[in-house]
Amino acid sequence: MTAKGEAPDVLAMDLGGTQLRTAIFDGSRQVERWSVPTPRGVAAVVEEMIRSIHHAQDVAGGRIRAVGVSALGPVDPVKGSIRDAPNIGVFDSFPLRQLLQERVDLPIEIINDANAATVSEWELGAGRGTQDFCYVTISTGIGCGIIAGGRLLTGRHGAAGEFGRITVRAPGERTARSLEDLASGTAIAGQANHLLGSTVSPGLAAAARTQPVSARLVGELAAAGDPNCLKIMSDAATRVGEAIANLVRVLDPEVIAIGGGVSRAGEPLWSPLTKSLSDSLAKGGHPVPRIVHAELSDDAGLYGAAITAKAALSKAFIL
């Protein structure tokens, strides 16, 4: 709760596919937070966000000065709209800022979730002190945010950094597919489920009898030495490492932070990823940037939303 004399000034909201997470920030400190399941349908999402904003104003005694929203899906930072987010029923364009602004008399800024995490890691986490920094998230999907010359790179339509959508060709395949289709948490789980139906894998089969097959489970079994899960994780990590090498060739960042749920798999992911990155860059003699773990974990989106809200007030951070 807010202590006497404190003046929380911004509200951060992280609109994800499963949870709508909200926090009141006083400076860089969270003073209250809560979450609810993400509703389905744009009208229900807007109503839940409005309720959260009103609740925050009550908690903060009316001292909220701006709202920042980290949102899933491609975001147009100028219009404040989400172009595509099937998890909440958005298949065309969702003018989120406009719909909120019609009912809330506060500055409201919308930022893509990967960009929000990038900004927070750059200012508060693994990218502190750098001018050229990339954040790569490996989770349900694969995303990326880019700081170039000390500024967030969004592109003309807010679509810069759609790293998971780059196309790659897997060994033995004639048709290129997106990196996300081959190496995301969703892809890893899919490959493990396919393995259950085609190959004897005692460890995976035993685990699948008591819990859903997920990238987290594959990572845990890989860490325990399961050869099939080790191969699934290694193949995914190798493809991500090779793709990051191309990112490095184009952007030449000083530091790349790796985050997202799949990144917590540890050595079964980390070792093949960093090896494939180094091997790919060695072929052209390109310097290898420092590769580090992201520091802010699941709170990165909230911190990024708070930074974005403060930017709307100060105009110091231009999107």
The pLDDT profile of the chain, 319 residues, written as one tens digit per residue, is 344 444 458 999 999 888 899 999 987 788 899 999 998 888 899 999 999 999 999 988 888 999 999 998 788 878 888 887 766 766 578 889 999 999 999 999 999 999 999 999 999 999 999 999 999 999 988 999 999 999 999 888 888 888 988 988 777 777 888 999 999 999 999 999 988 876 667 888 888 888 999 999 999 999 999 999 999 999 999 999 999 999 999 999 999 999 999 999 999 999 999 999 999 999 888 999 999 999 998 889 999 999 999 887 765 443 3
We find that the CATH architecture of domain 128-294 is 2-Layer Sandwich (3.30)
User: How far is the CA of 178 from the CAs of 79, 146, 189, in angstroms?
Assistant: 27, 19, 16
Q: How many CA atoms lie within 13 A of 149 on its CB side?
A: 3
Where b means 16+ CB within 10 Å and e means fewer, 106-131 reads bbbbbbbbbbbbbbbbbebbbbeebe
Can you say whether the dihedral through the CA atoms of 66, 71, 77, 82 is positive or negative?
A: negative
Q: Which residues of the chain form CATH 3.30.420.40?
A: 10-119+298-314, 128-294
Cβ pair 67, 105 in contact under 8 A: no
- Cα 257 to the chain's mean position, in Å? 12
Indicate the burial class of 134 (C-beta count within 10 angstroms; 0-12, 13-18, 19 or more). Answer: buried
Indicate the burial class of 142 (C-beta count within 10 angstroms; 0-12, 13-18, 19 or more). Answer: buried
Can you say whether the dihedral through the CA atoms of 55, 86, 91, 138 is positive or negative?
A: positive
- Backbone φ and ψ for 110, nearest 5 degrees, come out as -115, 135
State the Cα angle at 296 between 295 and 301, rounded to 5°.
140
Length of the chain measured in residues: 319
Q: Does domain 10-119+298-314 have CATH number 3.30.420.40?
A: yes
